[in-house]
């Protein structure tokens, strides 16, 4: 850990580019930050504030710092199977089954909500939450069909094996189109308020526009933010239940007993805001690309496709604001990765792993990300590692 002089900023990353540092300095300079901003080991530049930034604020929230994929995160579930149980089975067939069960890529939603018996209960829960909290979803009439869909970018589904050769189901996704609409709506509201209150010229950049506690706009954002975070949590759970059914069928097990295949589950956000106590004060803590690492809290830290991932337990590090990295973190932008690497490079890096081949995923090549082993070494004071996972199957959104 290193304090960046002259700023309320602590850095846990051994490798940072200048743009990430400057973004973090801008965020830390906001007058309501308390006690400091923490940069996680996987930090890299992002929109408004750097990804991998933990931002504690007094009586205000910055919607763009939370981000447009509200509640994005990871879910991992350990199964009853060992790697030896999969011997001789066609992983490509499981990949195709997963692609059929879970709509992939932005804009791809379910044709209906009746295919699986567990979907309706989740929709009813979210409908009730929206009604009780007066959440306006008029901008997203398809949100029900979005539930159980993956999305694109670095969202993925994987079958993994841990250090004891136990098989895990693993996936990464968030609040999909509905969460994006909620985020964009409130980012614009915050920017409009800054203009009305003559605050725009005092902001390091427009994407640090904030909503003050006590205003109607703040209260509305917090209600809709909470709903989007719950949608993201339920979305991952929905996809994991579908994954479990597909795995059962692939293994020749009655899919109605698929719940018996699962031993344990960890479902965590890494893009969200929550009220916590830090530096002796109650703050709104925004983890933008970071996970909760309070003492004993379990979390999931994925590597890039083709590298290791981790199940961890938090150490409650106060300097790190009880947080930890959310993954490897990008080293090269998507555009730069496409300039540097080819589809053959990707195939070489994914040797021995079943995955979706093609140029669409070049920008997700492991070389475009930071070294996950270095990230985890930098995070040694933040979390302890429980399990180390390696992929045997990967499905990416496009």
Query: What are 214-259's pLDDT values in tens digits?
Result: 999 999 999 999 999 999 999 999 999 999 999 999 999 999 999 9
Task: Give the DSSP letter of residue 66.
Answer: H
Q: What's the pTM value of the predicted model, to 2 decimals?
A: 0.96
Instruction: Evaluate whether residue 356 is within a structural domain.
Output: no
Question: Of 44, 278, 326, 387, which residue is the catalytic one?
Answer: 326
| Closest C-alpha to 238, from 88, 369, 85, 119 | 119
**Residue span of the structural domain in which 307 resides:** 2-331+369-396
**Overall domain count for the chain:** 1
Instruction: Evaluate whether residue 289 is within a structural domain.
Output: yes
Instruction: Evaluate whether residue 167 is within a structural domain.
Output: yes
Model pLDDT for residues 257-287, shown as the tens digit of each residue: 999 999 999 999 999 999 999 999 999 999 9
Q: What percent of the chain has pLDDT over 70?
A: 100
φ/ψ (deg, to 5) at 166: -90, 145
**CATH no. for residue 239?**
3.90.1860.10
Nearest 10 degrees: Cα torsion 160, 336, 338, 16: -10
Q: Which residues contact 131 (CB under 8 A, 6 or more apart)?
A: none
Average pLDDT, integer, range 67-79: 96
Catalytic annotation present for 326? yes
Classify 116 in phi/psi space as left (phi over 0), alpha (psi -120 to 50) or beta: beta
pLDDT at residue 382, rounded to an integer: 98
State the chain's mean pLDDT as an integer.
95
Greater model confidence, 307 or 38: 38
Instruction: Evaluate whether residue 363 is within a structural domain.
Output: no
Instruction: Evaluate whether residue 305 is within a structural domain.
Output: yes
Instruction: Evaluate whether residue 197 is within a structural domain.
Output: yes
SS3 229: helix
Instruction: Evaluate whether residue 353 is within a structural domain.
Output: no
Residue 56 CA: distances (Å) to CA of 23, 223, 287, 317, 360: 15, 19, 9, 15, 37
Instruction: Evaluate whether residue 349 is within a structural domain.
Output: no
| Closest C-alpha to 70, from 187, 171, 192 | 187
Q: Alpha helix (H) ranges present in the chain?
A: 18-28, 63-66, 91-101, 119-132, 143-146, 176-196, 216-250, 334-340, 343-349, 372-378
């Amino acid at each position: 850990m290193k304090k960046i002089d002259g700023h309320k900023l602590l850095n846990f990353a051994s490798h940072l580019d200048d743009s990430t540092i400057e973004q973090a300095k801008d965020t830390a300079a906001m007058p309501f930050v308390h006690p400091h901003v923490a940069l996680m080991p996987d930090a890299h530049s992002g929109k408004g504030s750097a990804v991998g930034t933990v931002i504690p604020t007094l009586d205000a929230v910055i919607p763009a710092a939370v981000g447009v994929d509200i509640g994005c995160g990871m879910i991992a579930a350990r199964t009853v199977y060992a790697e030896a149980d999969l011997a001789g089975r066609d992983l490509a067939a499981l990949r195709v089954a997963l692609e059929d069960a879970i709509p992939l890529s932005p804009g791809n939603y379910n044709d209906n909500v009746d295919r699986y018996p567990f979907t309706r209960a989740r929709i009813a829960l979210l409908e009730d939450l929206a009604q009780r909290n007066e959440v306006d979803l008029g901008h997203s009439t398809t949100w029900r069909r979005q539930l159980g869909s993956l999305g694109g970018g670095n969202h993925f589904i994987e079958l993994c094996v841990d250090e004891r050769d136990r098989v895990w189901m693993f996936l990464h996704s968030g609040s999909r189109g509905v969460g994006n609409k909620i985020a964009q709506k409130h980012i614009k509201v915050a920017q409009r308020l800054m203009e009305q209150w003559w605050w725009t010229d005092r902001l390091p950049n427009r994407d640090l526009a904030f909503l003050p506690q006590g205003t109607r706009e703040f209260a509305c954002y917090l209600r809709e933010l909470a709903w989007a975070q719950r949608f993201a949590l339920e979305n991952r759970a929905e996809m994991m239940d579908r994954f479990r059914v597909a795995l059962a069928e692939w293994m020749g097990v009655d899919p109605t007993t698929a719940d018996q295949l699962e031993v344990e589950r960890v479902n965590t956000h890494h893009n969200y805001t929550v009220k916590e106590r830090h530096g002796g004060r109650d703050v709104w803590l925004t983890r933008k690309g970071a996970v909760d690492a309070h003492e004993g809290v379990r979390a999931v830290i994925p590597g890039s496709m083709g590298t290791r991932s981790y199940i961890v337990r938090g150490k409650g590090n106060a300097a790190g604001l009880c947080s930890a990295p959310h993954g490897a973190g990008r080293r090269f932008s998507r555009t730069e990765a496409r300039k540097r690497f080819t589809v053959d490079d990707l195939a070489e890096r994914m040797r021995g792993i079943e995955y979706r081949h093609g140029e669409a995923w070049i920008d997700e090549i492991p070389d475009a990300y930071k070294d996950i082993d270095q990230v985890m070494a930098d995070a040694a004071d933040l979390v302890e590692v429980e399990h180390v996972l390696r992929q045997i199957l990967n499905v990416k959104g496009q």
